[in-house]
Amino acid sequence: MFQTVARPTHPAPLQIVTSADDWRAVAPPLDQRDHLDHLDHLDLDEPFVNAAGSAARLLPPAVHDALVAFADRGHRSGALLIRGVDVGAVPPTPPRPAAHRPEHRRSEFALLTVARRLGQPVGYAPEHGGHVVQDIVPTPESTGRQVSTSSDVELMFHTETAFHPHRPRYLLLLCLRGDPAAATTLASVHELVRHLDPRTVAIMFEPRFRTAVDESFLGGRTNELGPPRPLLEGTVDEPSFVFDADLMVGTDTEADATVREVAELISHHHASVVLEAGDLLVIDNNLAVHGRSPFTPRFDGTDRWLQRTFVVPDLAPSAGERTGRVITTVFGRDAILGA
């Protein structure tokens, strides 16, 4: 006779449920709602981002307090899910990441208000033109690639821009239109250190892992590996985790086996969230890695659509490698040549 041993489930993100009414006050200032046509560039203007900073005091109190607690103490799942954000009337999903349009301003403002409570929203020059708020929509060119605009492949578990010296501390995904097949997957470092043996955890604290720089950051060149770094920093009780199941290798056989062991554990021990319109998922990029299940795009204006922003705790460390809110760090050969 078989005995079934229940596998402990991965904790779900901490959930805060709100209603559209709770978000009424979190709206772009009147003088900033309609002047988008006057901008000659396609990104958000700084007064808009600053207004979002002040609007943190207008957040629903439960959301505000959850953000404060999440920034202070994290959560064992590594993520916070705010439901019921008012995203306004959602136009058809654009066929590719699009320029910002006035009808997006309400959802962008809500996203940036939450972002500003956690730190400073930024974009990365090589990704989506450096926009601070990016559209994550399936594109025909990317269906099978390991990029956020993919669709019919599993997006493998990763720390956002694992290779980057100014990687975001938080990743915010606001869903404007969901797809029931597309689950955002999350695996928390707290679960990892609980389920791996201490010897493996000790190896993870050693600088024996290299991460390939994402193609898009290398102007088309590939196979540029970053310097050896640990997967874990801090302590076992307060760890910070960097991992990429696709782009990371060990510097020796034992470290390489550790990468595979971690990937294997995460592949069967993680949380899944199917985002619906009005869901805002805040991922602590130091505590959790994320991915996405495959889904089938239709390219007819009804596809899944997320708005995303990245948050760094402080703009100062990237000062020499940043223009406004766009981080411009150059990698690999170009960096050495000063190109």
Q: Which does 308 bind (CB under 5 to 8 A by kind): ligand AKG, Fe ion, none?
A: ligand AKG
The least CB distance from residue 320 to ligand AKG, in Å, is 25
Task: Enter the tokens of residue 109.
Answer: 């403002």
For residues 117 and 59, give the distance between their C-alpha atoms in angstroms, rounded to a whole number.
10
Contact of 110 with 18, CB cutoff 8 Å: no
Instruction: Enumerate residues 63-82 that contact ligand AKG by CB under 6 A.
Output: none
The least CB distance from residue 290 to Fe ion, in Å, is 6
Residue with tokens 């009414």: 21
The least CB distance from residue 324 to Fe ion, in Å, is 23
The least CB distance from residue 310 to ligand AKG, in Å, is 9
Does residue 93 touch ligand AKG according to CB under 6 A?
no
Angle between helices 46-54 and 105-118 (to 10 degrees): 60
Instruction: Enumerate residues 136-175 that contact ligand AKG by CB under 6 A.
Output: 136, 148, 155, 160, 171, 173
| Reduced DSSP (H G I as helix, E B as strand, rest coil) percent helix, strand, coil of the chain, to 5 | 30, 20, 45
Stretch that binds Fe ion, among 1-9, 77-85, 103-111, 158-166 (CB under 5 A): 158-166
Q: Which of 290, 297, 303, 331 binds ligand AKG (CB under 6 A)?
A: 290
Task: Enter the tokens of residue 234.
Answer: 């801090």
Quick one: which H or E segment has residue 272?
strand 271-273
For residues 139 and 154, give the distance between their C-alpha atoms in angstroms, rounded to a whole number.
15
Contact of 102 with 272, CB cutoff 8 Å: no
Contact of 318 with 327, CB cutoff 8 Å: yes
Contact of 234 with 201, CB cutoff 8 Å: no
Instruction: Enumerate residues 160-179 that contact Fe ion by CB under 5 A.
Output: 160
Nearer to Fe ion, 55 or 136 (CB): 136
The least CB distance from residue 89 to Fe ion, in Å, is 27
Report which of 17, 13, 16, 15 is spatially closest to residue 79, judged by C-alpha positions: 13
Nearer to Fe ion, 55 or 114 (CB): 114
Q: Which does 292 bind (CB under 5 to 8 A by kind): ligand AKG, Fe ion, none?
A: ligand AKG
Does residue 177 touch ligand AKG according to CB under 6 A?
no
Nearer to Fe ion, 216 or 235 (CB): 216
Residue numbers at the binding site for ligand AKG (CB under 6 A): 136, 148, 155, 160, 171, 173, 184, 290, 292, 306, 308
